[in-house]
Amino acid sequence: MKTTARICLLMLIAAGASVARAEAPIDFKDILFIKRQFLSGGGNHMCDQYFGFHAVPGGGVFVLENAFSDKPAVRDVLKNSLCQNGRFKGRKLPSGSYLSPDLSYDGKTILFAFTEAEKTRYKWTPKSTFHILKVNADGSSLTQLTDGAWNDFDPCWMPNGRILFNSERRGGFGRCHARPVPIYTLHTMNPDGSDIVCISHHESNEWHPSIDNNGMIVYTRWDYVDRGFNQAHHPWITSPDGRDPRSIHGNFKEKQGDNPVMELDVRAIPGSKRYVATAAAHHGQAYGSLIMIDPQVADDNKMSPITILTPDAKFPEANTGTGNDLKYASAWPLSERYHLCVYDENGNARRGGKNNFGICLLDAETHEKKLLYRDPAISCLSPIPLRARKKPPVIPHRTAVGEPLAPGKKFDPDARKNAPATGTVGVMNVYDSTLPFPKGTRIKYLRIMHVLPKSTPHHHKPQISYGVEKSARAVLGTVPVEDDGSVLFTMPAGRSVFFQALDENMEAVQSMKSATYVQPGERLFCTGCHEPQKKTASMGANAKALRRKPSMITPDVDGSNPFSFPRLVQPVLEKKCVPCHVKDHKDAKKKPPDLRKGDYLKDKRHWYTSYINLRTYAFYYGPLGGYDRWLPAVTVPGKFGAKASKLYAMLKKGHHDVKLSKPEMHRITLWLECNSDFFGAYENTKAQAEGKIVTPALN
């Protein structure tokens, strides 16, 4: 045992701390942390907590020196620090709020996020948003790395020398908020703040990126494709250049209480394949109970991979109120058993901002804690051992996205202008599926669906389709599937997509409820269609699609991209349905629905009369009004879209003397398999209703 650890244990034993019954891996004496006011009013939400205008001024970056002695001392790292550049050049940071520190692998340089916390209330300005700065551990060389009217936060040192962080720079808003809630996703930059690039093109929020023991990025993603708002906020993993994002566990649970609502602050445990995380609420902040996640355990989308480390705190919102049991946060694992964290035994969001989190050493085996420091006036957060640590391996970049600079080189803004605009996607066997396809099904095509980021700030404005809070989408087109189930095709980079498996009639049998994307030049391969995790490909290099050039995506019919009910469906209705539906009928009760456009300018949503009247015959996810309800986590093959709609069944059976051509029937089924949407962009709905082509503002 190292001398420091022995001294620390003796000190803890002298203080009566039973956590020292075993040798805690304490090879440090000082702890880096921040002080930050717990948000008791605005910002008490999983997204809003990281908007600078919600932050309460106060706190800073500190070091708890001799943390395990009987006389620890607190050092203000920024007490005498003058900023070397940017808006604060030549002066100390003004009053504001601090967030998410991180320490370089050599233990010498601190990253943190800072905001002046200007109270603009949902107005983004440089003073009301978080920006990333760095400073030496002794307080020297304070440097501002980012600025602007967007929030940049959660900085993290990468083994290759770049900085990983969350940012709103990609653009877009959340879909279920009655207020502007920007999307923030993974970005990286050079250590001097140059070459800021987006490495995640996900269409919803992401949180708390960190680097695991293998050099991979772990983070939390809000997966929100055709399901409810409160269903999936669980750990994901991706490469340092953003390739091949994959869920670690829990992405397809059946009920809210099956496991934590959110799993945040995911960090790799030293010398282990497991992670520690905070079980938190959707409608709350990143506080709750601490858990350990074992990705080696088969995922049952419940609790199998999870060990509860703090049984005195229930999971907020999953099995207690959203504001209850907010006792723990920001665990820094020392081993599977011992963790630094912050703790407040009375943690509760409804205590008028009186929460007071102190730094503790937690023994996860005995569930006992040793309080190391508490400031009676303000909470502590994010304790980190102030010492050098082992650097994970550097995973080579396979794309030009965020590629680290060679030693001594300066960033050239033109260096990546010639990067490819596409990637290659392969599926080894679409029949490798979690749920079996209907007997006799043959998959002939794969449809690529583009999920569009929301460019307007309030929910239901506009309402894209019958189901509220659903994404606008576009059909990029289809690619062929070989008779052995294999697929290989070229796909545009930087677009959030999901896939649908189509039969010989180009009707969807299966559809994803998650999203993926490719980086420029990436080669992304999947085993199958919602295949079980850790399953190996049944064919591999023998797959027929791998023996040929990648297919190019074949665009679909007019009205599919950009998506448009007025262009895709209404012409079929006008030609084949309206003439009969407008005739006089002797029995008024049996009068068929009006399938004309109607006076759509008088409808508050600009929907056609035909679209309104087809609702009960169509297929869509989610309720007609209000907020999303819980929706099935996965699609059951053959039981969604056209094949699950009354309209399709009616037309296939035969509806009076209506005879649709194959292209006309395709337009109807395609609409039903696109969640029966009306609009294909969040902008210019009047023009869309008029049948004009409106290109979405964000891709």
pLDDT in tens, 438-484: 999 999 999 999 999 999 999 989 999 999 899 999 999 999 999 99
Q: Which fold has domain 3-385?
A: Neuraminidase (2.120.10)
Q: Does the predicted model carry a pTM greater than 0.85?
A: yes
Residue 50 has pLDDT above 80, yes or no: yes
Q: Give yes or no for a contact between 430 and 443, defined as CB atoms under 8 angstroms apart.
A: yes
- Residues near 185 by beta carbon (within 8 Å), at least 6 away in sequence: 166, 167, 170, 198, 200, 201, 202, 205, 206
**CA–CA separation, 565 and 125 (whole Å):** 38
Cα separation, 298 vs 300, in Å, equals 6
Nearest-angstrom CA–CA distance, 360 and 371: 4
Sheet strands (E) in 347-472? 358-363, 368-373, 380-385, 422-427, 445-451
For tokens 């983004």, the residue is 124
**Distances from the Cα of 298 to the Cαs of 248, 250, 350, in angstroms?**
10, 11, 37
Distance of CA 437 to the CA centre of its chain: 29
Question: Does residue 234 contact residue 221 with C-beta atoms inside 8 Å?
Answer: yes
Instruction: Answer whether 373's CB lies under 8 Å from 381's CB.
Output: no
3-state SS track over 277-312: EEEECCCCCCCEEEEEECCCCCCCCCCCCEEECCCC
pLDDT for res 4: 43
- Tens digit of each residue's pLDDT (9 = 90 or more) over 95-139: 999 999 999 999 999 999 999 999 998 999 999 999 999 999 999
Q: Which pLDDT score is estimated for 536?
A: 56
Helices (H) and strands (E) in the chain, counts: 8, 31
Long-range CB contacts (within 8 A, 24+) of 354-358: 354/40, 355/38, 355/40, 355/326, 355/379, 357/38, 357/287, 357/329, 357/381
Give the integer Cα–Cα distance in Å for 501 and 438. Answer: 12
| Average pLDDT value for residue range 595-621 | 96
> What is the pLDDT confidence band of residue 534, given thresholds at 50, 70 and 90?
low
Angular region, 443: left φ>0, alpha ψ -120 to 50, beta rest: beta
pLDDT value of position 538: 58
Whether 242 has a pLDDT exceeding 60, the answer reads yes
Confidence at 5, pLDDT banded by 50, 70, 90: very low
**Residues with Cβ within 8 Å of residue 476, at least 6 apart in sequence:** 448, 449, 450, 491, 492, 495, 497, 553, 555, 561
Between 607 and 11, name the one with better pLDDT.
Answer: 607
Nearest by Cα to 193 from 250, 114, 133, 108:
133
DSSP 367: T
Question: Could you tell me how far CA 613 lies from the centroid of its own chain?
Answer: 35
Using the predicted structure, report yes or no on whether residue 20 has a pLDDT greater than 90. no
pLDDT of residue 535: 60
pLDDT of residue 586: 63
Decide which of 540 and 361 is more confident. Answer: 361
Which whole number is the average pLDDT over 257-265?
96
* Nearest CA among 227, 254, 231 for reference residue 622: 227
The proportion of the chain whose per-residue pLDDT surpasses 70, expressed as a percent, equals 93
pLDDT at 347: 83
426: exposed, middle or buried (Cβ count in 10 Å: 0-12, 13-18, 19+): middle
Domains of the chain, by residue range, sit at 3-385, 422-689
How does pLDDT run across 483-533, given as a tens digit for each residue?
999 999 999 999 999 999 999 999 999 999 999 999 999 999 998 876 566
The model's pLDDT over 191-229, given as tens digits with 9 standing for 90+, comes to 999 999 999 999 999 999 999 999 999 999 999 999 988
Statement: residue 615 has pLDDT above 60: yes
Q: Give the per-residue pLDDT at 532.
A: 60
Element housing 210 (H / E): strand 206-211
Question: What was the pLDDT predicted at 444?
Answer: 98
